[in-house]
Homo-oligomer: A and B are copies of this chain.
Amino acid sequence: MSLLVIGSVAFDALETPFGKTDKIIGGAATYISLAASYSTRPVNLVAVVGDDFPQADILTLEEHGVDTTGLQIKPGEKSFFWSGKYSQDLNSRETITTELNVLGSFDPVIPTSYLDCKYLMLGNLAPQVQRLVIQRLVNRPKLIVLDTMNFWMDSAAADLLHVVEMIDVLSINDEEARQLSGEYSLVKAARKILTLGPKFLIIKKGEHGALLFHKNKVFFCPALPLEEVFDPTGAGDTFAGGFIGHIAATDDCSFENLKRAVVRGSAMASFCVEKFGPERLLNLTDEEIEAREAQFAELVRVVPAAVVA
């Protein structure tokens, strides 16, 4: 089912305790699109880059079923660039450089061929831009998922609340849920946030898993205990991509299916952190993904004693 993804396509330069990279392809929409492409194709992409963005990287996206008709290339301008350095335990990171470049004036033009979009994934971007996208679609999508971050809560809170009213699923991390709600307890935070518009709330807790709230129901998916986390960049976006990809592929917005989508997203994120940037997302097989999903099921599996006896 037609999936539209909006977000940044960019350059990142990363430093972790395990090494550092030069400028590599990054950006929320890159991770989302690649992760979703293992469930559903095409992934219709709306994003903007400068003419410094390599044709080879655009081709890589195309090879993964990403339709780049909506990828604007601004002549004479530079792509969004972020560089950062992770702490020894990878639990915090320091931003070294943020160059907005083309993203500073991003006007999300949606190609006519994308307008019948049934599933919309709004990757982390200025809330005004996210809202513009919804307004420019002819029909209201069946499901709108929005990912955002504390930066917009600090700098554009009113705009953010405005777009949050219009969506179905909000995806944020635990600290952001606390900030947005003013509640420390995630259960209380979720209850408040679910009055702001969304019917579903995902709270991402990184290495501690993810929670899905809906009405009075809650689902928890752990993160897989990993021997080595190499680079956490893009894990949250990859989660979102796996999540929306599963829903678009199955065309089922029930709570039960959203639970499965959270497992899919968690499995995709567990691959993402194994290598630098989106590298691990470029050559996955269906067998690898299924085996990883089975590990998630096994991790929490308890056989009741009565069944054993």
* Copies of this chain per assembly: 2
Q: Which of B185, B208, B302 contacts A263, CB < 8 Å?
A: B302
Give the distance in Å from the alpha carbon of A305 to the alpha carbon of B256 in the complex: 9
Q: For A220, list chain B residues within 8 Å (CB).
A: 222, 225, 299-300
Question: Is A259 interfacial (CB 8 A cutoff)?
Answer: yes
Is the CB–CB distance between B250 and A305 below 8 Å? yes
Known: A300-B219, A300-B221. A227 touches B257 (CB 8 A): no
Verify B185–A260 contact, CB threshold 8 A: no
Given the known A-B contacts A256-B308, A305-B257, are A209 and B222 also in contact in the complex, defined by CB atoms under 8 Å? yes
Contact with B along A222-266 (1 / 0, CB 8 A): 100111110000000000000000000010000011011001000
Residues of chain B within 8 A (CB-CB) of A56 are none
Report chain B residues within 8 Å CB of A88: 184
A211-B225 contact, Cβ under 8 Å, with A263-B302, A297-B302: yes
Does chain B have a CB within 8 A of A188? yes
A218 interface contact, C-beta 8 A: yes
Q: Which residues of A contact B (CB under 8 A)?
A: 88-89, 184-188, 205, 208-209, 211, 218-222, 225-229, 250, 256-257, 259-260, 263, 297, 299-305, 308
Complex A-B: 24 CB contacts under 8 Å:
A185-B227, A185-B229, A187-B225, A187-B227, A208-B208, A208-B209, A211-B225, A218-B225, A219-B299, A219-B300, A219-B301, A219-B302, A220-B222, A220-B225, A220-B300, A221-B300, A222-B300, A250-B305, A256-B308, A257-B305, A259-B301, A259-B302, A260-B302, A263-B302
